[in-house]
Amino acid sequence: MKKSNTVIFIAAFFVCIAASLPVLAENPISADEALKLLKDGNARFVEMKLRHPNVSIEQRENTATSGQKPFAIVFACSDSRVPVEIIFDRGIGDIFVVRVAGNTIMDNSVIGSIEFAAEHLHLPLLVILGHTECGAVKAAIAGIHEEGSIGAIQKKIEQAATLVKKEYPELGGPDLMNAVIKSIVLEAKVDILSQSRLIKEMSGSGKLKIVTGVYDVKTGGTEWVQ
């Protein structure tokens, strides 16, 4: 009888311990919830009704000691007019940002960074973000060729511009530029899915949602492109 009581006590003890431990979810929030946080933050930025969440000494110290727990990945252009955390009204440790001029080049550094965030930080959302008034797009449309490494970036943009011009010969001016910018972000999505088996598998299984958008550097708003 005593042995039976001891077993019951030990079992109850471990049940209590297990119940007190934090539950580690692979994705603390869903992709749709993460996207809503970005959309809501961008709406506040447009109206300049910023809340500046997670911009504090406490948040800075907490992320330093407990590590980062962002809720989304944003692959954006390096353009200084596109400060990702600011335009989405988010703070320290909220967004894992990968940036490269023109956000077109999918080399090992870019893909590896995105894979790290998706797999090891268990992030449910990847946003590929282009922007209006892109100088590289303007140069590509105008036929201005750059040399060296800049030329490698521009070559990808030129390919997108050529395809858009062929498909929509009636477009010109700002309409043509905007169409090329949308084409670039959509092509970036295709590129990462074709070049990263991990991202393709996570996307296919529903672990990672990929969305594309174009940020307007004048209005501050983001158009979500499908």
The conformation of residue 101, written as its DSSP 8-state character, comes to: G
Q: Is 70 exceeded by the pLDDT of residue 78?
A: yes
Q: What is the pLDDT of residue 40?
A: 98
Amino acid found at 171: L
| Maximum pairwise Cα distance, the chain | 90
Q: Higher model confidence: residue 145 or residue 95?
A: 95
Secondary structure class of 210 (helix, strand, coil): strand
Supply the mean pLDDT for the chain. Answer: 88
Q: Is 80 exceeded by the pLDDT of residue 188?
A: yes
208: pLDDT confidence band, cut at 50, 70 and 90? very high
Residue 88 and residue 85: Cα distance in Å, rounded? Answer: 5
Q: What is the pLDDT of residue 153?
A: 84
Q: What is the pLDDT of residue 50?
A: 98
- Residues 104, 62: contact at Cβ < 8 Å? no
Fold of 28-225: Beta-carbonic Anhydrase; Chain A (3.40.1050)
Q: Is 90 exceeded by the pLDDT of residue 104?
A: no
Domain ranges of the chain: 28-225
pLDDT in tens, 48-67: 999 999 999 999 999 999 99
Q: Which of 162, 177, 194 is nearest to 132 (CA)?
A: 177
Q: Is 60 exceeded by the pLDDT of residue 13?
A: no
Q: Is 50 exceeded by the pLDDT of residue 1?
A: no
pLDDT in tens, 123-150: 999 999 999 999 888 888 888 888 888 8
Quick one: tokens of 63? 């992320």
Quick one: tokens of 186? 């959509």
Amino acid found at 10: I
Q: What is the pLDDT of residue 27?
A: 60
Q: Higher model confidence: residue 103 or residue 130?
A: 130
Q: Which of 25, 83, 32, 13 is nearest to 55 (CA)?
A: 83
Q: Is 220 left (phi over 0), alpha (psi -120 to 50) or beta?
A: left
Residue written as token pair 């009636």: 170
Q: What is the mean pLDDT of residues 32-60?
A: 98
Q: What is the pLDDT of residue 23?
A: 36
Secondary structure class of 36 (helix, strand, coil): helix
154: pLDDT confidence band, cut at 50, 70 and 90? confident
Q: pLDDT exceeding 70 applies to what percent of the chain?
A: 88
91: pLDDT confidence band, cut at 50, 70 and 90? very high
